[in-house]
Structure formats: structure tokens, C-alpha cells
Amino acid sequence: MKYIFSAIVLLLSGASVLAQNSTSSPYSKFGIGELEMAAGGRNAGMGETGIALRSNMFFNSANPASLTAIEPQSFLFDMGFNYKYTQLSNTQKKANVTDGNISWVQMGFPISKKFYGGFSVNPKSSVGYDIYLLKTIDGTSFEYPSIYQGSGGLSESALMLAWKISKNISLGGKGGYIWGNVTQTIDQTVSVSSTNYEILQTDNIHYSGGYFNLGTQITIPLNSKSTLIFGALAGLSSDMKAKISTSITKSYEGISEVISNTNKNSYAKKLPLDLGTGVSFLYGLKWVGTFDYKRSNWNDANLMYDSNKLTTNNSFRGGVEFAPKEEKQSFRQTIRYRMGYRYETGYLKLFNNQIHEQALSVGFGMPIRKDKSYANFSLEFGTRGTKTASLVKENFVKFNCSLNLFDRWFYKRQID
């Protein structure tokens, strides 16, 4: 049990840094920030699929029912990092940004023959923007600059429990807690007269809330080589509390005064109701092909600003994995090549432009020991947004790297 303890310590130490922002996207101003993908290292290479993926070697937190694929007396530990290079552009300007963060720390293990457990800590969302805007005072031709800045993000930690109802049917539940701080500032400089006024509004928002979702996976063997897996996922819509403290400072001519300091506690926003379904097709141990559809209804996620800008995200994701050698024949671990594509209609709708996102991913898993541990690498090439209607287009390359460790426990040492 010592390493469980150690693992928890490691997870928690990882969690302490998770809440940092790792985005520079102007779109992270909206909603709870840019949503992070944290299903696992294998998923990242396969277009972030996972609802119908099962593996005894790769941790998949996209569907808690997949935990039942873990072998008895073994555990899976997965820790990932990412680097994202983004080119932001609109009709006037381009900017290049790089962000990096821990992607996830997660672990799964069998509890008994029927029950499996797991936990995960990962960033849920990131906020990091720096937007410069020239606004006009209504009824005048007077323009003044406004600088919007945001930082912070939400973290998520979750416990998973899965039940292997029968050989082919599994049910899993994931209960999590989301928390974090987001700081948003608006800095406006006005000089309608000969005096310069600077108004700085700072909103510190502390979010906290729990959520629960259920997943299931059904394995249908078609013949000796082919297997079909169906997966489904349903998340309960849940409330998230937001404590907002707002302070407004006015400065002019060397005078600086706090003109307003308010705290609001009663504020709540709804996390979206997620519904997803997926299917995988396995051909021997060589080929895995999978497709996911997921719908996240962000319409009800009331937000402090811009409440009308969130909408339903439909995501369509597909991925394939190929292992050149069938493990049973080679008796050696083999490199697994992956590829995926995803298309998200986007949960943001700005001026009737839904902020679509699509990305192509390629990756591979490299065995790092004779055992079943893998280092997973993937690159995701994607675009998000549009240049039309004064919006921003993002072209990005995201590098994901994870260490997926397979190990044994409760296993007696053999004496030679």
C-alpha cells in the first residue's frame, strides 16, 4: 500500500500546479475557459476518442466503464504533459504563443474481481487571454482602449468506480470535484477631458462544484478475430458555485481609489449535460478503430459575462491504432501507431459564428520496458475559430507526451 500512498502524494503535488493557466487563446475569456482534454495518452493520439476504448495497458478516463479492462493485481498509472504552439491571427495581426502544462495524472486498479477503482487529477480548463479592444462611447465618437486580461483555470479531481457486471458488460461511474480560481481584469483608460482616468475592474472568481457521470461498455465478440465494443456516457448536469469578488479601482492624476468592492456568493452556473456514445472495432491485436459522438449542452451554463455566447458542442471523433506485430506472436511489446481526427462544432457562439475546432492527430506508443508500460507521443494539428466577423483564428500544434505505466501489486516475490 505504500505506493498507493506515494501515488496520492504525487497526484496531489501534481494537482497543486494544475490550476495554472496554460492557454493564450482569446476564446478562453468565455465560459469557464478553454476546456482541456485529459482522457489519456493513447486517446490523445486517436483524436481524443475513448468512450468505446478498452485496454489493459492504457488508462482511459473518457469512460469509467473501461476500468474493468485492467488486469487483476496490476495497476495503470498515466501522467501526461503537453506543449501547445498556437498562431493567433485576425485580419490585422498575427501572434505566436506557446503554452505548456501537465495534462493529467491518473491511476486505475482492480479492487476485486468485479470492481475496479481509479482516480485522476487534471486541469479542467485554462484561462489566459490578453485582449486589446478599442471601444466607443455610445452617442459620441470618443474611443478609448480596453484591455481584457484573464488568468487561472479550473482543476478537476475524480474518483472512478467500475463494475464488471458480466464478462462483456461493464458499468462505471465517475464522481469529481472541480475547483479553481480565475482572475479577470478589464483595464480601461479614458480621457474624455484633459484628465486621464484609468478604471481597473478585477474579478476574482472561485469556482467549486461536483459532478457525476456514468458510463457503460458492452463488448460483442464477432468472431475469433473481430470484436465490437459499444460505449455510452451520460453526465449529470450539476451546479457549480462561483464566488466572485469584484473590485474596481479608479486612478487619475496620481490618485488611486477603490470605488467598489463587492463579493457575491450566490452565483451558480450549470455544468453541461454530457451525452456520448461510441463504437470500437478490434481486429485481432493489430487494429483498433473507433468513433465517438458526444454532445455537451453548454446553453445552461450561465456565466457572468456573455451568457448568450455558449451553445451546444457536438463533437465527432474518430481514431485508429495499429500495432505492426501481433503481440501474441512476437512475444514482445511493439510500437503502436495512432491516428485520429476530431471535429467540434464548438461551445462558443460569437456573433452567430460558432467557434469550430478540428484537429488531426498522429502519435505512437513506445514500449519503455519489457513490461506493458508505454511512453505515448502525439502531435495534434488543428485550427479553431475564424477570421471573419472580427474573430480570431487559431492554428495550433499540440504535442502530448505521457508515461503510461503498467505494474503489478499484491504480487508475491518469487524466490529463486
Partner 1 sequence: MNWTGRGNDYFYPPFKTNFMNQNKTFLFCLLRNIENCKQMRNFQVLLLLFVLLASASCTTSPMEEFVVGKNFIKDQAGIVKIDTISIQSSVVKFDSVISSSSGKFLIGSNYNPFSGYKASNTYFTLKFDGTIDNTKFVYDSLCLVLSYDSYFAGDTLVSQKFSVHPLTEKLTTTNRNSSYLYTTDKFAYDTTPLGSVEFKPRPRSNNQLTIRLSDTFGGKLADMIKAKKEDITSSTSFMENVLKGIVIKPEQNVNGSILRFRTADIDKKNVLSKNKNLSKPEMRLYYHLVPNPNELKDLYYKFSFNSDGIYFNQIEENNKNSAIEGIESTRNEKVSKLTGNQTIVQSGVQLFTKLKIPYIKNLTKSASNPAVVGAFLRLFPIKGTYTKASELPDSLYIYTANKNNKLLGQVTLPGQSTKYVLVRLGRDQNRNVIVDEKDRVYYEVDISAFVEAEIADQSLTTNSLFIGFGSGSYQKTAEHVLIGGVNSGKYSPALSVFYYHN
Residue 73: C-alpha distances to residues 254, 370, 374, 411 (Å): 68, 18, 18, 7
Contact set for partner 1, span 258-297 (CB under 8 A)? 259-260, 262
Choose, by CB under 8 A, the member of 28, 49, 66, 101 that binds partner 1. Answer: 101
Q: Spell out the SS3 assignment of 93-106.
A: CEEEEEEEEEEEEE
CB of 238 or CB of 249, closer to partner 1 = 249
CB 123 → partner 1: shortest distance, Å? 10
C-alpha span between 315 and 298 (Å, rounded): 13
Q: Does 139 bind partner 1 (CB under 8 A)?
A: yes
CB 276 → partner 1: shortest distance, Å? 26
C-alpha span between 364 and 380 (Å, rounded): 12
CB of 93 or CB of 166, closer to partner 1 = 93
CB of 48 or CB of 394, closer to partner 1 = 394
C-alpha span between 170 and 113 (Å, rounded): 12
Q: Does 7 bind partner 1 (CB under 8 A)?
A: yes
Judged by CB under 8 A, the stretch of 164-172, 183-191, 237-245, 334-342 that binds partner 1 is 183-191
Q: Does 105 bind partner 1 (CB under 8 A)?
A: no
Choose, by CB under 8 A, the member of 392, 396, 398, 404 that binds partner 1. Answer: 392
Choose, by CB under 8 A, the member of 230, 252, 281, 283 that binds partner 1. Answer: 252
CB of 113 or CB of 332, closer to partner 1 = 332
Q: Would you give the binding string for partner 1 spanning residues 311-350, x where CB under 8 A is met?
A: ----------------xx--xx-----------------x
Residues 6+ away with beta carbon under 8 Å from 21: 28, 33, 99, 126, 127, 128, 150, 151, 152, 153
CB 408 → partner 1: shortest distance, Å? 5
**Listed residue (288, 283, 285, 378) closest to 334, CA to CA:** 285
Q: Does 138 bind partner 1 (CB under 8 A)?
A: yes
Q: Which residues pair with 79 in a beta bridge?
A: 105, 403
Residues 6+ away with beta carbon under 8 Å from 323: 285, 286, 287, 334, 335, 336, 337
Judged by CB under 8 A, the stretch of 86-94, 158-166, 228-236, 291-299 that binds partner 1 is 86-94
Contact set for partner 1, span 11-70 (CB under 8 A)? 17, 20-24, 26, 29, 56-57
**Listed residue (54, 45, 33, 48) closest to 294, CA to CA:** 48
CB 325 → partner 1: shortest distance, Å? 13
C-alpha span between 331 and 340 (Å, rounded): 27
**Listed residue (15, 11, 10, 107) closest to 67, CA to CA:** 107
Q: Does 202 bind partner 1 (CB under 8 A)?
A: no
